[in-house]
Amino acid sequence: MTQLALRGVPLDRARVLRLLQDYGVYAGVLALLLANVLLTPHFVSAENFRTQAVQVAPVIIVALGMALAIGSEGVDLSVGSVMALSTSLISLYLGYGPVAAILVAVLGGMLVGLANGSLIAFIGVQPIVATLALMVACRGLANVFLPQLKDVRDPTMASLGSGSVLGIPYLVLIAVALALLVAFTVKRTTFGRQLLAIGDSRPAAQLAGLPVRRVLVVVYVVSGALAAIAGVLATARLTASDPTSLGTLMELSAITAVVVGGTPLSGGRVRIGGTVAGAVLIQLLTATLIKHDLPPSWTQIAQAVVIVAAVYAARERGRR
């Protein structure tokens, strides 16, 4: 059936553009990989891939929640601060054992998400503004809880941060598992379908009797929880809690991954595979520039250009 429909449509400019939006990110990842294999010395090594994967894992986890928020026609700017909050909570509660500390950290993230979601769903504050307020407050809270950098000396945390199974770091495994879980949620659950419908057409979703407010609250709670998990993992990897700098600009990286991955800012669509690929693309881009001795300043400038280009390309689809 689908093939039939495909054959009927001419391969015009709009279609090419659409293919580019949908699969451009994968092509980009492939192209970068290929270029690096050919041009970068010592690129093809297990160690290098492991380093890259470990670095990108927290970004992927945060971006998953961001993808849900953007799919509901919102955004969550508080994710970076939630990571910071989570790292201070870990340090604070590590005395009660690592499991308790992790649970408290994730719970904290969910509470922030609950606050975000309630402001947005029940009071009707714009997502940007609501999550901005929480972003400022959370960063402050994180610093209040833990005024300065503190080492995290705990065997469980340490193994979580640097351990691996069959050569694959735990961090990467967790990120992959979460990505699969979120993808499954979007594709196969009632919640996922309702989320997409709400993001695509709020009035239609309302008239169809969907629980719009509940879905929105859950979206931000999930986003908060994922950011907190990313905070836990980052803490484990660094074996230190640094609430001042952990997660700064993370919202930007997450939004970039989501947008580059082909999820439109106008909502109604969530591409988990694209989001993961988007995060990987940015990571590879950074790594490539660094490996070729281009300074970090160039990476930042390049990332800025990539964001604007991705949003600009997605703009066309907005005009259905």
Partner 1 sequence: MSTQMKSPVLDASLPEEEPLGARRGERLTALAQQHGALVALLLTVLIASVSFEAFPTSDNLGNMAVGSTFLAIVALGMTFVIVTGGIDLSVGSTFALGGVLAAWGSQYGTLVALLLPLAVCGLIGLVNGLLIAKSRLAPFIVTLAAMLLARGILLAVTDEGSTTYLVEERSFLATLGEESLLGVSLLVWITAVLFVLGALALRRSRFGQYVYAVGGNEDAASLMGAPVARTKIAVYTLSGLCAGLAGALNAAYLMSGVTILGVGMELDAIAAVVIGGTLLTGGFGFISGTLAGVLLLQVIKNIINQIGSLDSSYQQVVSGAFLAVVVVAQTWLGRKRRML
Partner 2 sequence: MTETYDAGGPQAGSGPPGAEAVLRTAGVTKRFPGALALDGVDFAAYPGRVHALIGENGAGKSTLIKVLTGVYRADEGLVEYRGEPVEFATPLEAQHAGISTIYQEVNLVPLMSVARNLFLGREPRNRFGLIDFRRMHREAEEALRDLGVRVDVTRALRTLGIGAQQMVALARAVQVDARVVVMDEPTSSLEPREVETLFGVIRMLRDRGIAVVYVSHRLDELYEVCDTVTVLRDGKLVHTGPIAELDRLRLVSLMLGREMGEVRAEGLTKFSGEHETGGEPVLTARGLRVRHTLHDVSLAIRPGEVVGLGGLLGSGRSETAKAVAGALPPDEGEVLVAGASVRTGSTPAAIRAGISLLPEDRKAEGIVPGLSVRENIALAALPGLSRFGLVDEERVDRIVDTFMKRLRIKASGPHQKVGELSGGNQQKVLLARWLAMQPKVLLLDEPTRGIDVGAKAEVQKLIDELAADGLGVLLISSDMEELVEGSDRVVVLKDGAVVAELAGAEVTEDRLLEAIAAHSRAPEEGAPS
- Smallest gap from residue 205 Cβ to partner 2 (A): 7
Backbone torsions φ then ψ of 13, nearest 5 degrees: -65, -45
Q: Which residue lies nearer to partner 1 by CB, 20 or 313?
A: 313
Q: Which residue lies nearer to partner 1 by CB, 221 or 259?
A: 259
Does the footprint of partner 2 cover residue 19 (CB under 8 A)?
no
- Smallest gap from residue 310 Cβ to partner 1 (A): 9
Interaction residues for partner 1, span 90-119 (CB under 8 A): 119
Three state DSSP letters for 21-89: HHHHHHHHHHHHHHHHHHHCCCCCCHHHHHHHHHHHHHHHHHHHHHHHHHHCCCCCCCHHHHHHHHHHH
Does the footprint of partner 1 cover residue 297 (CB under 8 A)?
yes
Residue 181 partner contact from partner 1, partner 2, none using kind-dependent CB cut-offs of 5 to 8 Å: none
Cβ 236 vs Cβ 120: under 8 Å:
no
| Number of residues engaging partner 2 in binding (CB under 8 A) | 26
- Smallest gap from residue 88 Cβ to partner 1 (A): 10
Residue 40 partner contact from partner 1, partner 2, none using kind-dependent CB cut-offs of 5 to 8 Å: none
Taking alpha carbons only, the member of 311, 310, 307, 281 closest to residue 60 is 281
Taking contact as CB under 8 A, which single stretch among the options 47-55, 95-103, 221-229, 251-259 is the one that binds partner 1?
251-259
Taking alpha carbons only, the member of 294, 284, 215, 316 closest to residue 28 is 284
Q: What is the largest CA-CA distance in the chain?
A: 65
Residue among 105, 141, 183, 215 that touches partner 1 (CB under 8 A): 141
C-alpha distances (whole Å) from 64 to each of 10, 240, 255, 274 are: 34, 24, 10, 10
Structure tokens at 233: 């993992």
Does the footprint of partner 2 cover residue 188 (CB under 8 A)?
yes
CA atoms in the 13 A half-sphere facing the CB of 88: 24
Interaction residues for partner 1, span 163-222 (CB under 8 A): none
Q: Which residues bind partner 1 (CB under 8 A)?
A: 75, 119, 123-126, 128-130, 132-144, 147, 248-249, 252, 255, 259, 265, 295-301, 303-305, 307-308, 311-312, 315
